[in-house]
Structure 1
Amino acid sequence: MPAARDLSTVAAGLDAVQWIRVSGGRAPAGEWHPAQDVPDLWWASAPLAEDGLPVTGLPPVAAAQLAALLGGRLPTSAEWEWMAGRGRRRFPWGDEPPEPGSANLRDFGPSCATPVTAHPAGRTAEGLWDVAGNVWEWTTAPWRRDRIALLRGGSYNSLIQYASCAHTNDVPGHLSSPGIGLRPVRHGVVETCSPHRRAAPARVTPAAPVAPVAPVAPAGNSCRAARIAFEETNEQFCDHRHSPAAGDGSTLRGRA
């Protein structure tokens, strides 16, 4: 797992990130979240990758810091579920069960991570890759009182049911794994985000009426702000009383 001080190096080695706009709407209540409105958001078209393979092994605080270096953040669990299924799809591509061409899951793949664009049949209607299978994706839960972290999407070692849009895996907030990656989200879009040009401010095209994203800050400030934001995220909406008892998180139920 890269140390926090190495995250700028990790960011510099990332493949270019393409951002796809997903329109918002009313997300129905899920396993771990109340019904809520989700705004229009811009999503990384695939999990962050280096040389085509997903970046993994980061605990959620480090994942949030890496997202901040790209001018984004980790999505909430409700936002992720809306992106994946729009409140109506069982799987990101539709209601049909996964097949080898749609997702890298336990019974379909090589038992390791594959390139994030290896399963074109599994893309969402909006064009997002690898939403189900290959690697889990970190999400946050700002309506919860505890410090639990939530994983979405399943991994290369997961059964089919873990790839559904509605499934959520609650795990300890310090967990890292070669089966866990991240997909940043933001309220504005960089047309083509190249981590190798980090010195210049990011060129942002806001999606009106959503506020534009500020230019990427220096690594130290971004990382510190992201750490603070993640640590405080579960205190922001404590008036929500939808707070199911968390599991002990001792095992990754979907496996890796």
Structure 2
Amino acid sequence: MPGGAFITEQVRAFLAHLPMDASTDDCVVPAGVYLVGPAERLLLRRVQRPVRFDRHAVTVSRYRRFLDAILPDGTSRWDHPDQPANVTHLPWTDRLREADYYVNQRYGAFPATCVSWWSAYAFAAFEGKRLPSALEWEAAARGTDGRLFPWGDDSDGAPINCADTWVGRPVVTFHAWQQEFAQQALRTAWVTPVDERPANRSPYGVEDMAGNIWEWTSTSLDDPGEAVLCGGSYDNPMRAVQTSSKGIYRKRGGSNAVGFRCVQDIDQSEVEAS
């Protein structure tokens, strides 16, 4: 392991064993400096203002209320000003694992999936909220001590929906993922209700940020037609569903493994009064 990478991981491990600011359960991420990024290139980054996260990812039942409010052509009055033509906020029904996912009440507590970034943006505006930035998302997931998972550094008996869970043992290499998950477990692996793993909780009370579904963020990198995803999903191995896990996906895309949660800006005075 290169010396620099070893040192940064040592620093992260040191910070993880220091007493952290008291954990909260109000889902408010305070403004401040956070340790972010993978172990080999850890960075200190500042969240400029406090923000309140949804405790859970947006569910099917919540998204159905939005669907009831959209226009006949599938757009809405909350659309992003740059939304391309021919974008509809109706889910990608041809990609849904279950055709009645947005109709059957049994899926009400499951995450809203197969919706594009444009739809996630419009839904957030519909609720008077917005999508989190990738930095805000990671800060909410790992707190100030740079923890690997929302609950800490320990992966034993992890409360997480990922490939390892479905296989029943660690999926360490890509070859193992192909042999032990993609050919067998993938047939049964799927998303689960957003409130099914209360132990998968960040220091701020935000739940299920690692695994289950990738989550859209407001962050784009080089291509404005793509956005950053965070957290990993049910078909990723545990090594890929850490608090620093990131992906890129086209904004028009929709997947059974991609959902989102919303945030709301709050005043510093609200944080100080709480």
Residue of structure 1 aligned with 2:148, choices 90, 98, 108? 90
Matches within 5 A, 1:83-162: 83-87=140-144, 88-97=146-155, 99=157, 102-109=159-166, 111-141=189-219, 144-147=221-224, 148-162=226-240
Taking a change above 3 Å as real, the CA distance of residues 98 and 183 of structure 1, as seen in their structure-2 partners, is farther
Taking a change above 3 Å as real, the CA distance of residues 59 and 108 of structure 1, as seen in their structure-2 partners, is same
Taking a change above 3 Å as real, the CA distance of residues 187 and 33 of structure 1, as seen in their structure-2 partners, is farther
Amino acid at match of 2:243: C
Contact 1:19–1:44, Cα closer than 8 Å, also in 2 = no
Deviation at 1:207, TM superposition (A): 5.0
What CA deviation, in whole Å up to 9, does each residue of 1:44-82 have, x standing for no partner?
001011221111111111111111111111111111111
Partners of 1:185 and 1:33 in 2: CA distance: 25
Contact 2:143–2:203, Cα closer than 8 Å, also in 1 = no
Q: Is 1:27 paired with 2:37?
A: no
Partners of 1:115 and 1:207 in 2: CA distance: 33
Amino acid at match of 2:45: Q
Taking a change above 3 Å as real, the CA distance of residues 172 and 131 of structure 1, as seen in their structure-2 partners, is same
Deviation at 1:145, TM superposition (A): 4.0
Partners of 2:119 and 2:251 in 1: CA distance: 11
Partners of 1:98 and 1:181 in 2: CA distance: 26
Deviation at 1:113, TM superposition (A): 1.0
Partners of 1:21 and 1:98 in 2: CA distance: 28
Higher-helix-fraction structure: 2
Partners of 2:116 and 2:200 in 1: CA distance: 26
Taking a change above 3 Å as real, the CA distance of residues 131 and 44 of structure 1, as seen in their structure-2 partners, is same
Amino acid at match of 2:147: R
Identical counterparts, % of pairs? 30
Partners of 2:218 and 2:42 in 1: CA distance: 11
Deviation at 1:29, TM superposition (A): 5.5
Q: Which residue of 1 aligns with 2:254?
A: 176
Deviation at 1:123, TM superposition (A): 1.1
Q: Is 1:71 paired with 2:128?
A: yes
Q: Is 1:167 paired with 2:235?
A: no
Q: Which residue of 2 aligns with 1:225?
A: none
Deviation at 1:84, TM superposition (A): 0.5
Q: Which residue of 2 aligns with 1:208?
A: 269
Contact 1:33–1:77, Cα closer than 8 Å, also in 2 = no
Q: Is 1:37 paired with 2:46?
A: yes
What CA deviation, in whole Å up to 9, does each residue of 1:94-148 have, x standing for no partner?
0011635x11111214511111111122111222111111111001225x34223
The secondary structure found in structure 2 opposite 1:121 is coil
Taking a change above 3 Å as real, the CA distance of residues 97 and 26 of structure 1, as seen in their structure-2 partners, is same
The secondary structure found in structure 2 opposite 1:171 is strand
The unaligned stretches of length 5 or more in structure 2 are: 1-24, 62-107, 167-187
Deviation at 1:37, TM superposition (A): 1.8
Amino acid at match of 1:164: Q
Partners of 2:27 and 2:227 in 1: CA distance: 25
Q: Which residue of 1 aligns with 2:89?
A: none
Q: Is 1:48 paired with 2:58?
A: yes
The normalised TM-score by structure 1 is: 0.61
Amino acid at match of 1:77: A
What CA deviation, in whole Å up to 9, does each residue of 1:181-232 have, x standing for no partner?
11101113xxxxxxxxxxxxxxxxx55268xxxxxxxxxxxxxxxxxxxxxx
CA RMSD of aligned residues (A): 2.5
